[in-house]
Amino acid sequence: MGEFKTMKNEGGPTLGYTTVPLIEKDGLFFKDMERSGELLPYEDWRLSPEERAEDLAKRLTTEEIAGLMMYSSHQVVPADSPGPFGGTYDGKSFADSGAEPSDLTDQQRKFLTKDHVRYVLAVTLRDGETAAKWNNKMQALCEDMPHCIPVNTSTDPRHGAGASFVEFKSEAQGTSKWPLGLGLAATFSPDLVKEFARVAAREYRALGITTELGPQIDLGCEPRWLRVPDTFGPCTKLVTDYAKAYCEGLQTDPESASGDGWGQRSVAAMVKHWPGGGSCESGRDAHYGFGKFSVYPGNNAKEHLKPFIDGAFKLDGGTKKASAVMPYYTISYGLDPSGNQVGNSYSKYVIKDLLRDKYSFDGVICTDWGITGDPDPELDSFGSRCYGVEDLSVAERHLRIIENGVDQFGGNNDIEPILEAYRMGCEKKGQEAMRKRFEESAKRLLLNSFRCGLFENPYLDPDESRRILGCKEFVDEGFEAQLKSIVMIKNKGVLPASGKKKVYIPGRHIDAHKGFIRNMIPAMDIPGADVSVVEKFYEPVDKPEDADFAICFIESPMSDGYTKETGYRPITLKYRPYTATASRKESIGQGDFREKDNPNRSYLGKTNTPANESDLDAVINTKEKMGDKPVIVVIRMNNPCVVSEFEKYADAILVDFGVETRAILTVISGGANPSGLLPVQLPKDMETVEKHCEDVPLDYEPYTDSEGNVYDFGFGLDHSGIIRDERWQKYVKNNRLMENKDL
């Protein structure tokens, strides 16, 4: 690939191109993307993005539109490892090919050229320079294709300082690091979230990324759900304010010359997951067939729509609304008045009647990943998500989704089912109607690329990418946010622990357990913390008797709600073995072709033990060995958990929602006064969790500790005592869901 060239327009955009000719008109320059020698409407950057997208959509073939309707599977750059995200280079592995890390794989070349894919999901990017060069190679390849439609690269959120047990973790070395969703929620600051989104957008664009598959604005009201860590918690007002702030910061280009706020620094937001995925029955997640039902025992489905309709769809800035929406995998059980029980993208009621018609969403709707393939015969699998339409063919599933008003298929690189759906639609509705429907999706999909300036300049300067990614300003902001997200819930006068003290930190053991993609992860022993980081604050010692104090780094209980061998079992938030005695006798959600003999998904009387039960042993044993010397517990809280098992053994407790160890030690040593507030309730016990309604926020009894403090939503301590500031007044005291609580 040759170097790209640029052409500056006075008072207009700078054009970036490799081989496409330019047109000069009225002293201005335009790309001749159609290579016609005539300035066409979609080539004229003076027109609105809407006008340009409509013009181009009419020029595309059915095959080209079908390509736009596909969103690639996860891409790793370079594709240097075997497995689901691997690839080849001229038929060889990366190691044997002699390819550059930024070279395109054979598979990428095929789906860009043969299948007309223009939306690409990036997972791992080796570094900023590699990402920039890979982007430029994709863009140059597509510039030589008809219409010069650029690649719109997307990502799952990739700025989290600490990994959680959800989704495929995206990462690029050198980006700034911020708290995970619950950590951002713990700051109770929409302004901070807006600033984070602004920084994320700058770094995304330096990586060639113009769409984020986020933010995740589901109400995190079911504490057992594995995706709670990436939500903003269960408080509707807080989540709604965060949804608005995040989308504003991500999409609005502060240097935009247009009145709509879009520009070269914009990143399109794809908010997820409509109509809210946080009410999954008993905490089981819909990535898997055993967790496919969202339920509404509290008749509270409307509450889950508010972050969308009052937040992401009502932005104060020029971009007006989030540009895209992703429905969740779930069957929203009982939501459709017709009684139709199908996955959300397959539901006419959920997509057309609610999202398109009632709430007038006219942006892109993209399915979650991998919902159109045939189901796996085993319930305990990762790829069986065509819920409720298992009897349809793959093409029929595509057609049904298109008819509902969905524009794009997540994780689909195969064009043929979409073309077959088009042929079937023509037979059913006529070619004119089907062509019109395809052009509607094409216009929506092209619009985001026009808005973000990709048609003018999709290329990156690798040196500029290196300068932006992880620059000191952004790194410092991220670290400050991490400090603000840490919540202190107990302190018997032992914090801060200042001075170069000696500290004992026990190691951890995790039993073998099922991973996110249902693979077995072997048992492991891991250090409690990175000694090289600890040494910057304290002197680590190997024996408790030599220490001045101890820190136990633990994690919330890791448990799984189903195995082939045991069937359904409780997802437990306790460390010790837990037997469900208060759960439902009959599950709400029932119906699966693999469970005809026994559709009841109840686990009443079943027992489960977390893979990290020994975290509790570490706390108890350390307290016993330390005697009267202080023991500080730092818990990485992926899910709200039953802290009663270890609270009495701790002299201080800090809750970490996804931060670096350095941030924790800064707070412990007195370098920062803790200011975070609990964005969730910590339950008194598992019985109160079992009895709560999955769709109702803040409805279970919180734990009261040995000091008399209630670990409720909005609780937090600083070095002076309980925090009661303006954040607490706004989101806790005035929260209608907490009006009857003794505050």
pLDDT tens-digit series, residues 372-400: 999 999 999 998 799 999 999 999 999 99
d(CA 644, CA 98): 56
For residue 194, give the H/E element and its range. Answer: helix 190-206
- For residue 75, pLDDT over 50 is answered with yes
Task: Write the single-letter amino acid at 461.
Answer: D
- For residue 152, pLDDT over 70 is answered with yes
Mean pLDDT of 557-581: 97
Cβ neighbour number for residue 126 with a 10 Å cutoff: 17
State whether residue 119 is helix, strand or coil. strand
Q: Which two tokens stand for residue 489?
A: 């819930």
Query: Is cis: bond before 674, omega within 30 of 0?
Result: no
Confidence of residue 228 (pLDDT cuts 50, 70, 90): very high
Percent of the chain with pLDDT over 70: 97
- Lowest mean pLDDT, pick from 39-48, 107-116, 164-173, 323-332: 164-173
**Residue 233 falls in which region: left (phi positive, over 0), alpha (psi -120 to 50) or beta:** left
Q: Which two tokens stand for residue 357?
A: 């018609």
> Can you list the positions of beta strands (E) in 615-703?
631-636, 652-656
d(CA 612, CA 508): 8
d(CA 531, CA 168): 28
Beta-bridge partner residues of 274: 327
Cβ neighbour number for residue 249 with a 10 Å cutoff: 25
d(CA 567, CA 599): 12
pLDDT of residue 737: 59
pLDDT of residue 3: 87
d(CA 590, CA 585): 13
The alpha carbon of residue 484 and the mean position of all alpha carbons in its chain are separated, in whole angstroms, by 21
pLDDT of residue 163: 58
Confidence of residue 165 (pLDDT cuts 50, 70, 90): very low
Tens digit of each residue's pLDDT (9 = 90 or more) over 233-268: 999 999 999 999 999 999 999 988 788 999 999 999
Is the CB of residue 235 less than 8 Å from the CB of residue 697? Answer: yes
- Lowest mean pLDDT, pick from 72-86, 309-323, 583-597, 711-725: 72-86
Is the CB of residue 633 less than 8 Å from the CB of residue 650? Answer: yes
Tens digit of each residue's pLDDT (9 = 90 or more) over 663-673: 999 999 999 99
- For residue 740, pLDDT over 90 is answered with no
Q: Which two tokens stand for residue 290?
A: 């055993």
Instruction: For the chain, state the CA radius of gyration.
Output: 26
Mean pLDDT, the chain, as a whole number? 95
Burial (CB count within 10 angstroms: exposed 0-12, middle 13-18, buried 19+), residue 37: exposed
Is the CB of residue 15 less than 8 Å from the CB of residue 31? Answer: yes
pLDDT of residue 323: 98
Confidence of residue 365 (pLDDT cuts 50, 70, 90): very high
- For residue 739, pLDDT over 70 is answered with no
pLDDT of residue 174: 75
State whether residue 410 is helix, strand or coil. strand
Confidence of residue 736 (pLDDT cuts 50, 70, 90): low
Mean pLDDT of 486-513: 97
Please count the residues of the chain: 743
d(CA 197, CA 267): 9
pLDDT of residue 553: 98
> Can you list the positions of beta strands (E) in 495-543?
502-504, 508-510, 513-514, 520-521, 524-526, 539-541
- Lowest mean pLDDT, pick from 1-10, 260-269, 350-359: 1-10
Confidence of residue 84 (pLDDT cuts 50, 70, 90): confident
Confidence of residue 85 (pLDDT cuts 50, 70, 90): confident
Task: Write the single-letter amino acid at 392.
Answer: L
Domains of the chain: 5-468 (3.20.20.300), 486-738 (3.40.50)
pTM comes to 0.96
- For residue 168, pLDDT over 80 is answered with no
pLDDT of residue 743: 43
